[in-house]
Amino acid sequence: MVFIVDSHPVQYKAPVYQELARLREGGFKVLYATDCSVRGHRDAGFGQKVAWDIPLLEGYPHVILGNERGEPLAGFRSLTGRGIGALLRRERPEAVLISQFLYEADLVTYIWCHFLGIPVWIRHETQDEAFVRPGWKSALRRVVYRLIYRGVDHAFYIGELNREHLIASGMAPGRMSRAAYCVRTRLDGMSDAEKQRIRDTLRGEHSVAADEVLLLFSGKLIEKKNPRLILEAMELLTPGELGRFKVLYVGSGAMEDELREMAGRFAGRVEFAGFVNQSRMHEYYLAADVLILPSRRAGETWGLVVNEALHAGCGVVMTDAVGCHREFGGWERVRVIGEGNAVECANALRELSGYARSFDWCAARMENYSVHAAAEALAEALDKAGGAGKDALA
Strands 95-98 and 41-43, sheet pairing: unpaired
Q: Is pLDDT above 60 for 321?
A: yes
How many other β-carbons are positioned within 10 Å of the β-carbon of residue 207?
10
How far apart (Å, rounded) are the C-alpha atoms in residues 57 and 279? 15
Give the model confidence (pLDDT) of 58-109 as tens digits: 999 999 999 999 999 999 999 999 999 999 999 999 999 999 999 999 999 9
| CA 209 to each of CA 214, 233, 244: distance values in angstroms, whole numbers, following the listed order | 9, 21, 9
Domains of the chain: 2-182+370-391 (3.40.50.2000), 192-366 (3.40.50.2000)
How far apart (Å, rounded) are the C-alpha atoms in residues 258 and 255? 5
Q: What is the mean pLDDT of the chain?
A: 94
Nearest in space to 385 (alpha carbons), one of 151, 93, 178: 93
Give the model confidence (pLDDT) of 114-160 as tens digits: 999 999 999 999 999 999 999 999 999 999 999 999 999 999 999 99
How many other β-carbons are positioned within 10 Å of the β-carbon of residue 58?
10
Specify whether the CB–CB gap between 295 and 132 falls below 8 A. Answer: no
Predicted model pTM: 0.93
Specify whether the CB–CB gap between 318 and 340 falls below 8 A. Answer: no
CA 116 to chain centre: 32
| CA 215 to each of CA 25, 179, 196, 357: distance values in angstroms, whole numbers, following the listed order | 42, 30, 17, 13
Q: Is pLDDT above 70 for 244?
A: yes
Strands 62-64 and 41-43, sheet pairing: unpaired
- 50-54, 132-136, 387-391: which has the highest mean pLDDT? 132-136
How far apart (Å, rounded) are the C-alpha atoms in residues 272 and 250? 6
By residue count, the chain amounts to: 394
**What is residue 390's predicted lDDT score, i.e. its pLDDT?**
44
**What is residue 310's predicted lDDT score, i.e. its pLDDT?**
98
How far apart (Å, rounded) are the C-alpha atoms in residues 391 and 383? 13
